[in-house]
Amino acid sequence: MSTYQRLPIAIARGEGNYLYDTEGNAYLDLFTGLAVNVLGHSHPAITRALMQQGSSFLHISNIFLNPPAIQLARRLVEQTIPGKVFFTNSGAEASEAAIKLIHKWTIRAGGGRAGVAVLKNSFHGRTLGALRLTRQRHVYQDFPSPDIPIYELAANDREQLRQLLATERPAALLVEPVLGSGGIVPLAEEYLREAEEICRKEGILLCLDEIQTGMGRTGRLFAYQHAGIVPDLILFAKGVGGGLPLGGIIAGERLMNLFAPGDHGSTFAPSPLSAALGNAVLDVILQPAFQEHVRRTAAHLQQSLQQLLQEEPAACREIRGKGLMAGIVLNLSADAVRELQQGLLAEGILVDVTQKTIIRLLPPLTITQAEIDRFVETFRRLLAGQSGKKGL
């Protein structure tokens, strides 16, 4: 069905930070399957886990104990908040699980509170429950909507945050630490800390959607950790499965014992294979040397993009992002930005476009400074051509 705007290449294989099409052309992958392939392609740790678990068992259902999943859940809790994990197949399913868990808490301990406060232009998934949380009109359109009270907040507006949480009495606040599909908009650490303070004072659940920002993307395992806060609920997916479908929620102490048998479930999640790959991902990204590599390359990326902004102020409006997650906001038409994307494709570089005029960069955490330089130099050249064409 015509639900995707595909780029005109067919992928044959991936190796390292590159994808190769069926004609043998190589492409530097700054897209990474929408932040999924955090270790690039065919990483040795992933390949070993794939072969080892694949030769043991692939599916057993949740009627039996699943050792790879137990290990992964324990490690996620140890690295985040005291609590328990519910695994899903995707980020949208993580949002659905979060909705049900928040509802259970509302009934038992909400004290008359109801609904969820979310950020304008946020994205939390496309299934009907998750769609109610998503605040992008072209996404939710006029599809059926569950009767969940939703309150909208502007990102980083601390005055509105204080007023809405005190007067509207939502049961939960759910935010992305960096809005991804919404335009790569980082929440200020001060904003997140004030949100935590208000939620604690007002008895509101603090929930973090780390589906795109998690798994080392911003320089910490999860982006909220930069602010030093403690959420009640963490949503994760994308990079955690090493390239296979896996997501879930980490429920803190106030929420971890609310689900009873039959309240929620999944036939496939957690896949033993996905969980095994998740453990392989953590084996790599939790290494101090690897974390230092991510910090260095992230700093190089952000500095290089800021330099680009200074050199091309007419075409570049703003650079947004955190860590290895960046958005180049352009003063060009949507058609011109698509031309830039196609131009990069012809040069062997894959990038995404979000909000029509923002080049979104989600490189693998294994990217090198030389590869960043290649992108920036190529983009600068193509951007200069567009600027001349448009008379900027």
DSSP bridge partners of 179: 185
Instruction: Give residue 384's pLDDT.
Output: 87
pLDDT tens readout for residues 87-135: 999 999 999 999 999 999 999 887 888 999 999 989 888 888 888 888 8
Cβ contacts of 297 within 8 Å, gap of 6 or more = 324, 365, 367, 368, 369, 372
At the top level of CATH, the class of 51-285 is: alpha beta
DSSP 121-188: T----SSHHHHHH---HHHHTT-------EEEE-TT-HHHHHHHHHHT--SEEEE-SEETTTTSEEPP
**pLDDT averaged over consecutive 10-residue blocks of the chain (392 residues)?**
88 97 97 95 97 94 95 98 97 96 91 91 87 80 84 96 93 96 94 97 96 96 98 98 97 96 93 97 97 96 96 92 96 93 97 94 98 97 76 50
**CA 261 centroid distance within chain:** 29
Instruction: Give residue 388's pLDDT.
Output: 63
Q: What percent of the chain has pLDDT over 70?
A: 98
Each domain of the chain, given as residue ranges in start order, spans: 1-30+296-319+328-364+379-392, 51-285
The answer to whether 29 and 41 are in contact (CB under 8 A) is yes
Torsional class of 42: left (φ above 0), alpha (ψ -120 to 50), beta (otherwise): left
Q: What percent of the chain has pLDDT over 90?
A: 85
**CA 283 centroid distance within chain:** 20
Relative to beta strand 185-186, strand 178-179 is antiparallel
Task: State which H helix or E strand residue 390 sits in.
Answer: helix 369-390
Amino acid occupying residue 74: R
* Strands, E assignment, the chain: 11-15, 18-21, 26-29, 83-88, 116-119, 150-153, 172-175, 178-179, 185-186, 205-209, 233-236, 247-252, 316-321, 326-330, 349-350, 352-354, 358-361
At the top level of CATH, the class of 1-30+296-319+328-364+379-392 is: alpha beta
Residues in the chain: 392
A 10 A CB-CB count for 42 gives 14
pTM: 0.94
